[in-house]
Amino acid sequence: MDYDTLLQSISNFGYVALFFALWLGIIGMPIPDEVIVMTGGAVSAAGVLHTIPAFIITYLGVVSGLSLGYILGRYLGSPVLEKLRRKKNFAKHLQTAEKMIEKHGNLALSLSYFLPVVRHVIPYLVGINKMPYRRYVLYSYTAGLVWTVIFFVMGHFAGTYVQTIGTMFYHYALYALLALLVLLSMIILIRNQKGVK
């Protein structure tokens, strides 16, 4: 499915197309999730869908797709993981996800939303590790809400540039996240320096 097909599907099937495009993201839709969520914002701004229902459906599509990963990890477990580990392109994302969990624990689930592909791997891994579902919901659904709000609102204002902006975020998300962390660190340092004087 390409971007034009996504727009056509939303025009024809509305909220259902938006939900399933995100829900199927777990199996690797060729359109980045960022673009799909931003499209939800753009089509609501254009009046194709109503904003509040479009946002709710978008959020439900995001969290249900990633919850599917958690459920698959919990009940199918390691055999699927070993098959994925053998895929050359997937192995690096799996390794990144494992390192994030090792370093950040439960917080990795929240942070992973901002890293393409890794966001789909971590729910699977925490499912394998038998994270209690309530804890999964707390970390995943909260971060999912923040992530959905950010990209939905961006899409609302991006209009016809959704595909370009969303694809840029998909490819440069890690750099954007690092830049944001550096910026926040600088702000904190400057405020602390002012407080010392």
Backbone dihedral angles phi then psi of residue 88, each to the nearest 5 degrees: -55, -50
What secondary structure does DSSP assign to 46-60, as a single string? TTSS-HHHHHHHHHH
Distance CA 79, CA 76 (A): 7
Over residues 52-73, the mean pLDDT reads 91
The domain locations on the chain are 3-196
Q: How many residues does the chain have?
A: 197
Distance CA 167, CA 185 (A): 27
pLDDT of 1 reads 61
Amino acid at site 19? F
21-50 residue pLDDT tens: 888 766 666 677 888 888 899 999 989 999
pLDDT of 27 reads 60
Q: How far is CA 36 from CA 19, 118, 141, 179, in A?
A: 10, 17, 18, 24
125-143 residue pLDDT tens: 899 989 999 999 999 999 9
pLDDT of 185 reads 80
Distance CA 195, CA 32 (A): 43
140-197 residue pLDDT tens: 999 999 989 988 998 888 877 777 877 777 777 667 667 767 877 888 888 888 766 6
Helical (H) or strand (E) element with 153? helix 133-158
Whether pTM exceeds 0.85: no
Using an 8 Å Cβ cutoff, are 163 and 170 in contact?
Answer: no
